[in-house]
Amino acid sequence: MPPFRPADDPERRKFQNPEAILTSIGLKAGMTFVDAGCGGGYFALPAARIIGKTGKLYGFDTNTEAIEALRGLATAEGLSNLELSVGSAEETVICEGCADIVFFGLVVVHLKEPIKALENAKRMLRPEGKLAVFDWKKKPTRQGPPMEQRLSEGQAVDFIKAAGFGRISVEDCGPYHYIITARL
């Protein structure tokens, strides 16, 4: 997994606007959102604000330090709609059929068994729910990880299809990223 990074990084916000990304996938007040590999909360905290008090955010990550830091930030901000745990996407199913959106933000490439993790996401989704995979384009860019640590859109789509998803949409998300959404 990538190293733990703080939840709000002003440099990162220049090329990754979490609120814009989350609203582009349809996140709204009152929804149930699962952030698989939530890290220190770069997407989880904005998602918790968007879904509000009537929504629920489940976040998990293998990094205990990141989960504890996120828990502290949420508490300091008065956000009580987060339920956080330590676990891997390959082994974690937070709930059966509870989520409106299961989100993988810059995570799939780091998974040992991406298809298994995506199958777990499928189990967590409501029948009308949506999977969202946000990641780095596999092309040279001034920002981001080395090329060998990136998945092309096609590779990610292949994993998503293998996990049994359909209605797949691939969209450009600025100069560095793509976002893929899929449904059951």
Write the pLDDT tens digit of every residue in 15-63: 899 999 999 999 999 999 999 999 999 999 999 999 999 999 999 999 9
Query: Measuring CA to CA, which residue among 73, 84, 58, 103 is closest to residue 8?
Result: 73
Residues 45, 50, 55: CA angle, nearest 5 degrees: 95
**Quick one: pLDDT at residue 4?**
54
Q: How far is Cα 28 from Cα 37, in angstroms, rounded to an integer? A: 21
Write the pLDDT tens digit of every residue in 151-161: 999 999 999 99
| pTM (2 d.p.) | 0.95
Q: Delimit the domains of the chain by residue range.
A: 12-183
Instruction: Tell me the C-alpha to C-alpha distance, in Å, between residue 1 and each of 31, 34, 63, 180.
Output: 28, 18, 8, 21
Domain 12-183 has CATH 3.30.530.20: no
Please say whether the beta carbons of 182 and 130 come within 8 A. Answer: yes
- Which helix (H) or strand (E) is 132 found in, with range? strand 125-136
